[in-house]
Chain A
């Protein structure tokens, strides 16, 4: 009954989405305020309907309603409740419903936080989001319905893939989707600007917090996925350049370019057409990422849907969205004219270079991901492009980007005097070069790749040195006290933290890549293994049970200089329903290093195959992601976005919008100034 209600809600939501899409967009074109006024309530109703649909699916899982094929395929009575809930988005159909629900959440947010926006804009933005919702709802109802029934209903379900039965992975898709879907807001703003033929600093100011918010979620989602892969997959790696990983990384790179480009558009009223194009690309890549994951077209460690029919639908949908938006850009892009010139040495120039590099990296990632596919289609040759190529490209190109990251905050808008810049760069430059030399000298003796380590560390120090330089400069210029630091604003501190996070990331990656150690050993109870000054003593394995699995739990004591440092309990589990074995690694993590142990296989003589890792500064990679996200939060929360528009500003903007309706669009504007 409840699930039938959910199914019905889903169908109703499609109808409402159509209304939300067609009426406001038509109304914006003809100046019909009543039609435009449909946008907000339609979005709100759609949210309620999708909330009902989603809640009913959650209910079905929690109550073991196996009359739904999707529930029966992904859950069973023995699973812990939390994983029954996360199983809702653990496979194809449910994750689509999550996508649609999250789109409804973002739309709802737009209805709430858009009071100061002209109605024409709100109508267009929500209308575009309505169109996207129509696409996803159709996809679900036509090819991937989570409410599809199975008759007769089985007594017991299958299983959620044990790899997904994990708190980290439970939250990873929602975070990622919040990011992907969040870029639809930036996309909708961009299309609305193209449709309206107007793009000014106000547009950029509206778009920025939404785009930053989406970027924050995407950052968190990617870091969570990477962290999960690290502790769950048992191989000690945290990034494999897997097509699905790349699918999330590309929109992140473009999103990063977009938030920088939006800063320029807001502050300097330039790069406008480029920003619109970036917004289109960011969302297109988010959709492309969905396509790559859903169609199983690429061999991927993650692929969990391999139905070509569904892939075809998404391909068509993608074609309409990308083709339509780029077509609109080609047609209307000329109307978006940028004013404002800038010198060769200016922050605008550095931002432009930043954008070029980020776009280049995204293009490179796309190339590496699609190259095997294209070569297979063209020549039938089976090629794989893996870690070595991606690492190579990123290691060659990143130093340039990092150089810019340090320079950016120190260079002024419009023009900066070259001599003055060189003077202010003296200290950071000297510190950086010195660190490079010292690092190279220190590590030259060992068998680590001294040049790479020295370069990585020097680059990280370059960022930190320039950040400190910038901060101290603010102190000096404004004769500020420590208390005045808060007055610098969310935008500045957001930048500062996020860039600092980048430096932490580079340091972590450099050190762990160069200095990590691992060993595969065969151990009997009582045996010890030494690695990197730590002694791992294997105490044997005990049988134990979980709610839906049986496990062999190992016991490993780790000593350093004779003192007990950690007790690790790696497990080898077998999940009862599917009979699938799974390795659960044991990690002792602190800021200095990770100690990682995973059980391999039991051998015939009663000993075990075990792998131990020593990973210095591994946790810096996760903390760095957290810092970047925190930086984003500070930036998005900057007071100037929340400041209620002063009365004159508001009146001016509404008058302008009214004027446009009268002059630009056919049809009469209604009386009354505000929306």
Chain B
């Protein structure tokens, strides 16, 4: 085989091997590190993996937020079921009752979700699509109301 040909063959082989190695790495990583999202009703039904981190999302139930020093507990719901979440630290600024949040963490033995991370969205009108869909599926919200920020209906002067 001519040297140029040989070199091209090496190159192609190198690229193929490299790509294969990378793809295997990526796929293995996905299996290992991906996180599933569950609705409260799924968690209550036992569909969430025990002992493995996952994401949960829903609306924060009115009047359910209870803080005890560093630790705070609140309940989220998709109107079909509730799950209590416990978190240590300060909650994000956009966290408020009646709004949608998403949390990462694990379910403990008592069925309380111990969150390592609580996320609320930047826009106060925005709802995470998964939460919106969960609510839609449970029939709690008219579909056309979901996930669309109302274009600025500005408030008159003086109103808060």
Contact = CB atoms under 8 A, between A and B. Distances in A.
Given A304-B123, A383-B35, A522-B70, A582 B148 contact: no
B157 A156 contact: yes
A301 B154 contact: no
Contacts of B81: none
A386 interface: yes
Contacts of B122: 161, 163, 301-304
A73 interface: yes
Nearest to B71: A520
B26 A364 contact: yes
B130 interface: yes
A388 B33 contact: yes
Q: How large is the interface on A (under 10, 10 to 19, 20 to 34, 35 or more residues)?
A: 35 or more
B112 interface: no
Given A156-B157, A371-B30, A306 B147 contact: yes
B13 to A, nearest CB: 12
B18 interface: yes
A438 to B, nearest CB: 29
Nearest to A387: B33
Contacts of B34: 371, 383-385, 389
Interface centre among A66, A74, A156, A234 (most CB of B within 10 A): A156
A528 B42 CA distance: 44
A360 B18 contact: yes
A156 B102 CA distance: 33
Q: How large is the interface on B (under 10, 10 to 19, 20 to 34, 35 or more residues)?
A: 35 or more
Contacts of A156: 154-157
A157 interface: yes
B67 A299 contact: no
Interface string B135-159: 0000000000001110110111100
Contact of A344 (B7, B32, B128): B7
A580 interface: yes
A601 B33 contact: no
A392 B29 contact: yes
Interface string B1-14: 00010010011000
B90 A582 contact: no
A303 B127 CA distance: 11
A603 interface: yes
Interface in B92-106: 93-94, 102, 104
Interface string A139-171: 000000000001000111110010100000000
A381 interface: yes
Nearest to B4: A341
Contacts of B102: 299
Given A344-B10, A580-B124, A158 B70 contact: no
A157 B123 contact: no
A441 interface: no
A601 B36 contact: no
Contacts of B46: none
Contacts of A118: none
B126 interface: yes
B160 interface: yes
Interface string B118-133: 0101111010111000
Interface string A384-408: 1110110011001100000000000
Contacts of A154: 154-156
A544 interface: no
A150 B160 CA distance: 21
Contacts of A521: 70
B152 A601 contact: no
Interface centre among A234, A296, A381, A384 (most CB of B within 10 A): A384
A69 B151 contact: yes
A576 interface: yes
Contact of B160 (A301, A396, A579): A579
A320 to B, nearest CB: 27
Given A74-B152, A344-B10, A393-B26, 6 more contacts: A301-B121, A382-B55, A385-B34, A385-B35, A389-B32, A583-B93
Smallest CB-CB A-B distances: 3 pairs: A600-B90, A73-B152, A382-B37
